[in-house]
Structure 1
């Protein structure tokens, strides 16, 4: 009867292990960081493009202002994608060199800006 009242291994198996829970929390934090980064990108893009394209804000945007904002945002996203791909490529390359060389960059040190 001990199995009905909490002494069994089935109860232990029903609860996620610490390692699984840790991975779940890490994944949640990664997702929250990605969301925060996306929100920051959108806010920065809106701010920069609005400043550039709408010199005198009014009740409505003119066609020229709408066109300018659209093109600005497209260019901003293109530039962001190019920089992101280059950054990921560089990180991958540096990590590969670290793995084969057995050292180099310190673990907490970020690579220099592109």
Structure 2
């Protein structure tokens, strides 16, 4: 009767560890991607700040705000373009 309630007797001992290890690896991968995205955002902000802000003040004027938005949008567009291009190249090369 004790075997009825012990589910671990039917499973290999390391199956739970493997599942936990896989879950941990997936979690770490997601966290690394979040960190990369955050670093990229900071890089965009620094570059665009240097390009668009002539004299810092208490508020952004409309010209500066528009410049910042356009600058970040262009960086995002270029990053997506490059990412998509690499994905296409990898896919093309994997077909050979």
Per the normalisation by structure 1, the TM-score is 0.68
Q: What is the CA–CA distance in structure 2 between the aligned matches of 1:89 and 1:26, rounded to whole Å?
A: 27
Cα pair distance change 1:75/1:30, threshold 3 Å: same
Q: What is the CA–CA distance in structure 2 between the aligned matches of 1:92 and 1:19, rounded to whole Å?
A: 30
Q: What is the CA–CA distance in structure 2 between the aligned matches of 1:92 and 1:25, rounded to whole Å?
A: 28
Give 5+ residue unaligned stretches, structure 2: none
Q: What is the CA–CA distance in structure 1 between the aligned matches of 2:36 and 2:90, rounded to whole Å?
A: 18
Number of aligned residues: 93
Q: Hey, what does 1:75 align to over in structure 2?
A: 74
Q: Hey, what does 1:104 align to over in structure 2?
A: none
Q: Hey, what does 2:21 align to over in structure 1?
A: 22
RMSD, matched Cα: 2.4
Q: Which has the higher contact order (CA 8 A, sep 6+)?
A: 2
Per the normalisation by structure 2, the TM-score is 0.79
Q: What is the CA–CA distance in structure 1 between the aligned matches of 2:92 and 2:20, rounded to whole Å?
A: 31
Cα pair distance change 1:29/1:93, threshold 3 Å: farther
Give 5+ residue unaligned stretches, structure 1: 101-114
Superposed, 1:92-111 pairs within 5 Å as 92-94=91-93, 96=94
Q: Hey, what does 1:11 align to over in structure 2?
A: 8
Large movers: runs of 4+ above 4 Å: none
1:3-36 per-position Cα deviation (integer Å, ceiling 9, x unaligned): 38x8x4x1355x8533322221121111011101
